[in-house]
Structure 1
Amino acid sequence: MPDPLQTYLGRIPLRMALAGGWIDQPFVSRHNPDPPGSMVVVSLVPNFRPMDRAGFATGTRAVAMRLWNGRLPRRPPDQLVRELYAAENQGRTDPSGSQDMIGLVYPGINRLDYDYRVEGGIFPAHIETLTDRRVVRWLERVLHVLPVEPRPEGYYPLGHRNLDPAWIARLGRSGRDCFEAIRHRDLHALGRSFNECMACWEAILPDTVRHPTLRVDLKALLRAYQRRYPGAMYSGCGGGYLFVVSEEPVPGSFHVQIRVE
């Protein structure tokens, strides 16, 4: 008998984005003086339903569910990424970055290296994947996911842009640092990469954490968790979930299961 939960949730994976996010957008990466800039995405087993508009690429996943009838086709992942990118972004003025598609399609923990000189920064120049079981289990254990609130209707994260090359270079380095911290299972380095990424978001795109439509004081909430734990960052612009790095339990949070196959 089919699992009713799996029947409801579907078989398309979920995507979680860690440090370096926004470097996948060409309007950001074109100003990077130190390319490539990196970000980290993690493919997840779809064993829960995340909030919509909360940084888990649920919109991209919905397109994938329709496009591929609820499961990933057995074709090269780079082909699937481009097919999904085209399907979701057709006619859009603010296209979703390719990290959304890559995180759904590629298994494991992935570092995406974006260089504006390669395909205009739309797709990464290089992808490095981690599927080592010890690394995966460690990240599952120390990464705590705390629900905050979905992005409200009317929210727009790109109203103010400060595309300072120095900050953009730091953003791209935060993704590299994040991936190396995961590779070496370094809790405090992972936390620092989260904190650095959020500092970059605040500097480059301040509306990601402060906007008239937001009901939660995202900056104050973030600071409180960063002071209490080694590091914290939001799942996406406008809140969504808070990712907290800790060896200790984080009240109210849950863990995710990383897809390695």
Structure 2
Amino acid sequence: AENFHAAATEERTYYAGSQDHIGLFFPGINKLCYSGGRHWPYEVVSLNDPSDPKQKAIFDWLERVVHIVDIPFVSRPEGYSSQEVNYLKDPNVPNATKAAMVKALAEASEAAWQAIIAMDADKLGKALSDTMEAWQV
């Protein structure tokens, strides 16, 4: 996946995140651990063994509580850039605000992982909501 990520992003001003590539190539549920502004995680913690009774229970629980909504695929318009608004790169956003956003995202991510491990739907829902709120600058 890391080689695919590097090849797919070579010579581009914007590249897809490692989450996109890991999501395609790594089976199971994965916690991606980042540090120091790196684009590739320094560690991936995986739950990917359905023969392990604890992991199987988590997989079954997550399938019951997360509902994927099928929406029709529509191509992005010509010239679309998901990075058009990027608060982390915006020089008008104070560094303290950027740091607070990154901290909130990291905390929400860890809370989501802990909620999955504990099979706690309420805490998972809150963690996912906290992720969305962290992007509100």
TM beyond 0.5 = yes
Which residue of structure 2 lines up, in the alignment, with residue 139 of structure 1? Answer: 62
4+ residue segments displaced more than 2 Å:
147-152, 154-163
How large is the Cα RMSD of the aligned pairs? 1.8
TM-score normalized by the length of structure 2: 0.78
Aligned to 1:18: none
Q: Does 1:152 align with 2:76?
A: yes
Structure-2 change in CA distance of 1:201 and 1:151 (3 Å): farther
For the residue of structure 1 that corresponds to 2:61, the secondary structure is helix
TM score, norm. by length of structure 1:
0.43
- In structure 2, distance between residues paired with 1:85 and 1:107: 16
- The residue correspondences of 1:137-216 to structure 2 (distance < 5 A) are 137-148=60-71, 150=74, 152-153=76-77, 154-163=79-88, 164-203=98-137
Q: Unaligned 5+ residue runs, structure 2? A: 49-54, 89-97
Matches within 5 A, 1:99-114: 99-114=19-34
- Structure 1 CA distance for aligned equivalents of residues 80 and 136 of structure 2: 16
Q: Contact 2:14–2:83 (CA<8 Å) still a contact in 1?
A: no
Distance 2:111 2:75 in 1: 28
Per residue, is there more helix in 1 or in 2?
Answer: 2
- Deviations for 1:80-101, whole angstroms, at most 9, x for unmatched residues? x222112211221101111222
Between the aligned partners of 2:132 and 2:70, the Cα distance in structure 1 is: 17
**Per chain length, whose mean CA-contact separation is higher, i.e. which structure has more relative contact order (CA < 8 Å, sep 6+)?**
1
Structure 1 unpaired stretches of 5+: 1-80, 204-261
Task: Give the Cα–Cα distance (whole angstroms) in 2 for the partners of residues 191 and 108 of structure 1.
Answer: 20
Secondary structure of the residue aligned to 2:85 is coil
User: How many residues are treated as equivalent by the alignment?
Assistant: 120
Q: Between Structure 1 and Structure 2, which shows a larger proportion of strand residues?
A: 1
Does the 8 Å contact 1:108/1:130 carry over to 2?
A: yes
